[in-house]
Chain A
Amino acid sequence: MKLYRTIFFLLIFIITGGSWVSIAFKPTPLKFEIPKGWPQPKYDFKNNPLTKEGFELGRKLFYDGRLSRDGNFSCAACHQQFGAFATYDHNLSHGYNNSFTFRNAPGLANLAWQKEYMWDGGINHLDLQPLAPITAPNEMGETIENVLNKLKADAEYKKLFKSAFGDELINTQRLSKALSQFLVMLVSSNSKYDKVMRGETSFILPEQLGYDIFKKKCTSCHTEPLFTDLSYRNTGLPIDDILKDYGRMKITGNKEDSLKFKVPSLRNVAMTFPYGHDGRFFSLRSVFEHYRKEMVVGPTTDSLLRNKMPLSNYEIGQLTAFLYTLTDTTFLKDKRFSPPGAEIVPSFIHLH
Chain B
Amino acid sequence: MKNKAYLLVTGCLLLVVLFGFDTKQQHKFTIHFNHKIGLKELKLMDEKYINDFGEGMIIAKFKYYISNIVLTGDGGKTAAIAASPWLIDEADSSSKSIHISSPFTNITSIQFQVGIDSIKNVSGVQTGSLDPLKGMFWTWNTGYIFAKLEGYSDTAKVPGHYFTYDIGGFKKGENAARKITLQLPVSRIANPASINIDADISKWFLSKYEILISRTPICHSPGALAMQIADNYSDMFSIGQFK
Interface residues of A (CB under 8 A from B): 2-3, 6-7, 10, 44, 47-48, 118, 122-128, 131-132, 135-136, 143-145, 148, 171-173, 176-177, 250-251, 253
Interface residues of B (CB under 8 A from A): 2-3, 6-7, 9-10, 14, 121-127, 131-133, 137, 139-142, 174, 221-223
Asked if B131 and A173 make an inter-chain contact with CB atoms under 8 angstroms apart, the answer reads: yes
Asked if B3 and A2 make an inter-chain contact with CB atoms under 8 angstroms apart, the answer reads: yes
Among B7, B9, B132, B222, residue most surrounded by chain A Cβ atoms (within 10 Å): B132
Residues of A near B142 (CB, < 8 A) are: 122-125, 128
Whole-angstrom distance between the alpha carbons of A3 and B6 in the complex?
Answer: 6
- Chain A residue at minimum C-beta to C-beta distance from B9: A3
- Please judge, given known A-B contacts A10-B14, A171-B131, A253-B223, whether A132 and B139 are in contact too, CB under 8 Å: yes
Q: For B222, give its contact among A3, A131, A253 (CB under 8 Å).
A: A253
Asked if B127 and A131 make an inter-chain contact with CB atoms under 8 angstroms apart, the answer reads: no
Can you show 12 pairs from A to B with CB atoms below 8 A apart? A3-B6, A7-B10, A10-B14, A125-B122, A127-B124, A127-B125, A131-B125, A143-B133, A144-B133, A172-B132, A172-B133, A173-B131
Whole-angstrom distance between the alpha carbons of A172 and B174 in the complex?
Answer: 27
Asked if B125 and A128 make an inter-chain contact with CB atoms under 8 angstroms apart, the answer reads: yes
Residues of A near B222 (CB, < 8 A) are: 253
Whole-angstrom distance between the alpha carbons of A143 and B121 in the complex?
Answer: 20
- Chain A residue at minimum C-beta to C-beta distance from B124: A127
Q: Looking at the assembled complex, report how far the CB atom of B33 sits from the nearest CB atom of chain A, in whole angstroms.
A: 24
Q: For B6, give its contact among A6, A47, A176 (CB under 8 Å).
A: A6
Asked if B140 and A124 make an inter-chain contact with CB atoms under 8 angstroms apart, the answer reads: no
Asked if B10 and A6 make an inter-chain contact with CB atoms under 8 angstroms apart, the answer reads: yes
Asked if B2 and A172 make an inter-chain contact with CB atoms under 8 angstroms apart, the answer reads: no
Whole-angstrom distance between the alpha carbons of A144 and B223 in the complex?
Answer: 27
Whole-angstrom distance between the alpha carbons of A131 and B126 in the complex?
Answer: 12
Asked if A118 and B125 make an inter-chain contact with CB atoms under 8 angstroms apart, the answer reads: no
Residues of B near A132 (CB, < 8 A) are: 139-140
Residues of A near B9 (CB, < 8 A) are: 3
- Please judge, given known A-B contacts A144-B133, A253-B223, whether A47 and B140 are in contact too, CB under 8 Å: no
Residues of B near A145 (CB, < 8 A) are: 133
Asked if B139 and A176 make an inter-chain contact with CB atoms under 8 angstroms apart, the answer reads: no
Whole-angstrom distance between the alpha carbons of A132 and B125 in the complex?
Answer: 12
Asked if B6 and A2 make an inter-chain contact with CB atoms under 8 angstroms apart, the answer reads: yes
Whole-angstrom distance between the alpha carbons of A143 and B134 in the complex?
Answer: 10
Q: Looking at the assembled complex, report how far the CB atom of A169 sits from the nearest CB atom of chain B, in whole angstroms.
A: 10
Whole-angstrom distance between the alpha carbons of A10 and B11 in the complex?
Answer: 10
- Chain A residue at minimum C-beta to C-beta distance from B121: A124
Asked if B125 and A251 make an inter-chain contact with CB atoms under 8 angstroms apart, the answer reads: no
